Amino acid sequence: MRTQVVIVGGGPSGLLLGQLLHRAGIETVVLERQSRAYVLGRIRAGVLERGLVGLMGEAGVDARMKAEGFVHDGTQIAYDHEMFRVDFAEHTGATVLVYGQTEVTRDLYEARDATGGDTRFEVDNVVIDGADTDAPYVMFDHEGKRVRIDCDFVAGCDGFHGVSRKTIPDAVRRDYEKVYPFGWLGVLSETPPVHPELIYANSDRGFALCSMRNANLSRYYIQCEMSDSPDNWTDDAFWDELRRRIPQAAADTLVTGPSIEKSIAPLRSYVCEPMRWGRLFLCGDAAHIVPPTGAKGLNTAASDVHYLNQGLRQFYATGDSHELDAYSSNALARVWKTQRFSWWFSNLMHRYPGQSDFDRNMQLAELAFLRDSPEAQAAMAQNYVGLPY
């Protein structure tokens, strides 16, 4: 069989690209290694930058997001038993939207279903071949058969462990990585959020984050050692530790309950260069990973989708490949700026093993500067709501 673009990976970035291309009359086939239920069962961050919100509107899938999402025009930063607010709207005129990544994915699947788009779940042994020629193709196992799809382009949206990035030869690809010496223990609970806005807390005991998915579903995190296990934490132990790390006013009003999900997430920064090899283009986690501090993972994937969508539309409308040729450089320019923000925010808010008294005082001085400087808050707000594409 043949299509114009094969999208490897049926997560939100692959689905968003497919929906945008559909609206331009460009045919796609989406290949997903897992089942649909598995993809929709993954718990991920839910802070959407203005750019992603705009892309969802461009894709025609923003109705439920606008109805059910929570507009946040600021965030809370806590340290040394005090809390201050960074006002996004005041400093940038923009906001973010709190809307779960699972819901984004659900909306995109429903939109693809409505268009009759070809989506293959539980595919295996995917091979991308001929990407460095004018005739790429993808082969995979599906429902007991070996299938080949010839195409014009391949979009690799299949995450860090997928086949897309590994298809780029080692001699061509360069990897950049930083692994952080701690993780986040996260708990999801059917409880009201402790605060209307997110609270990022730097404490002597380590980082904590108070977040939410909706008015009755909260997501909380505490910094932990990577060697730790969720099994080591009872719900009561988690809530007690969280209270110790957030301002007293928040701790006093925290509503607790049984956890419905508990896991530890590692923190790492990773970038692959280039993000294009021939007619293969990498998007999202296939090309880069950021620490969850500041919720830039899905949002950075969305910026990749923006650049690739623009390039493919230009190519099919006019035959001009200028924007496709610039895809990797354009995407990476923004990726590295996003990496810088996530790295800065992670360094600011976490306690590091072996951290000296000098290092600790530098953190506190940086936090005090952020609290007192409108210019520093404006820089943070600009990065948090999302740099322009």
Residues labelled catalytic: 72, 200, 292, 296, 384
- Picking from 283, 300, 369, 382, the residue whose alpha carbon sits closest to that of residue 339 is 300
In whole angstroms, what is the distance from residue 153 CA to residue 151 CA? 6
In single-letter form, the type of residue at position 383 comes to N
Q: Residue 271: beta bridge partners?
A: 176, 288
Strands 217-224 and 174-189: antiparallel
Long-range contacts of 65-70, Cβ-Cβ distance < 8 Å, separation of 24 or more? 65/97, 65/99, 65/103, 65/104, 65/107, 68/99, 68/103, 68/214, 69/97, 69/98, 69/99, 70/97, 70/98, 70/99, 70/212, 70/214
Query: Is 116 exposed, middle or buried, given 0-12, 13-18 or 19+ CB atoms closer than 10 A?
Result: exposed
Q: What is the dihedral of CA 10, 52, 310, 339, to 10 degrees?
A: -90
Asked whether the CA dihedral 300, 269, 6, 320 is positive or negative, the reply is: positive
In whole angstroms, what is the distance from residue 16 CA to residue 112 CA? 9
| Residues 6 or more apart in contact with residue 374 via CB below 8 angstroms | 91
